[in-house]
């Protein structure tokens, strides 16, 4: 997971998930420096299967390492409008788990490229992670679907869609 050092981004849900699933390794890249991270987690015991990382210039190694991309933003405190880290993860063929509200639902296809799960529902979250990672057939289907889904977000597809909307509304041709 890659996120800001904010509680509403689902950081504590991520910690709970790591504690509940000790058979998996978890990495959390935070948009903060090491001192800020250390201060944020004062008084918390981090699970042994969780590694924390400060801001990174290159997320490529983290996406290569990952089997799943998570966005655990709390839907009662933060609505994701798009979800760039989910798109980036999909480019690596990663299935995703995202909040059940917001623009991020236009990025994934629930049940096809990942699942929409309220991160406050820890039982469903744990079951969904295990379902994706333990079912190799489902995992491979979602991985392939994630790569295919990226087609709708490429520059030419987006420009074509915008052009069609503008031409329909204004009856004018556009040079792009």
Does 49 map to a domain?
yes
pLDDT score for 8: 94
Does 172 map to a domain?
no
pTM over 0.75: yes
Does 155 map to a domain?
no
pLDDT band at 18 (very low <50, low <70, confident <90, very high): very high
Does 68 map to a domain?
yes
Name the residue with higher pLDDT: 132 or 160: 132
What would the two tokens of residue 66 be? Answer: 């990952």
Region of poorest pLDDT, from 65-79, 100-114, 140-154, 160-174? 160-174
Does 117 map to a domain?
yes
Domain of 105, in residue numbers: 2-150
pLDDT band at 135 (very low <50, low <70, confident <90, very high): very high
pLDDT score for 50: 97
Does 162 map to a domain?
no
Region of poorest pLDDT, from 36-40, 64-68, 74-78, 116-120? 74-78
Mean pLDDT, residues 5-26: 96
pLDDT band at 151 (very low <50, low <70, confident <90, very high): confident
Does 171 map to a domain?
no
d(CA 99, CA 52): 22
Counted domains in the chain? 1
Specify whether the CB–CB gap between 55 and 3 falls below 8 A. Answer: no
Does 168 map to a domain?
no
Q: Cα torsion for 123, 127, 130, 136, to the nearest 10°?
A: -170
Specify whether the CB–CB gap between 16 and 124 falls below 8 A. Answer: no
pLDDT, tens digit, 9 for 90 and up, residues 42-63: 999 999 999 999 999 999 999 9
Give me the percent of the chain exceeding a pLDDT of 70: 95
pLDDT score for 34: 97
For position 128, which CATH number holds? 3.40.50.2000
pLDDT score for 114: 97
pLDDT, tens digit, 9 for 90 and up, residues 61-100: 999 999 999 999 999 988 888 888 999 999 999 999 999 9
Give me the percent of the chain exceeding a pLDDT of 90: 77
What would the two tokens of residue 3 be? Answer: 């996120």
């Amino acid at each position: 997971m890659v996120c800001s050092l904010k509680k509403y981004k689902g950081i504590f849900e991520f910690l709970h998930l790591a504690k509940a699933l000790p058979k998996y390794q978890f990495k959390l890249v935070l948009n903060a420096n090491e001192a800020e991270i250390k201060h944020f987690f004062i008084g918390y015991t981090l699970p042994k299967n969780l590694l924390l990382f400060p801001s990174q210039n290159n997320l490529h190694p983290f996406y290569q390492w990952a089997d799943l991309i998570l966005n655990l933003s709390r839907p009662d405190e933060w609505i994701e409008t798009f979800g760039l880290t989910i798109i980036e993860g999909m480019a690596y063929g990663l299935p995703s788990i995202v909040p059940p509200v917001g623009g991020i639902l236009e990025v994934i296809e629930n049940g096809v490229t990942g699942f929409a799960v309220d991160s406050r529902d820890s039982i469903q979250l744990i079951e969904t992670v295990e379902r994706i990672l333990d079912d190799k057939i489902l995992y491979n289907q979602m991985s392939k679907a994630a790569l295919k889904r990226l087609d709708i977000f490429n520059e030419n597809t987006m420009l074509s869609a915008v052009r069609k909307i503008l031409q329909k509304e204004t009856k004018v041709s556009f040079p792009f």
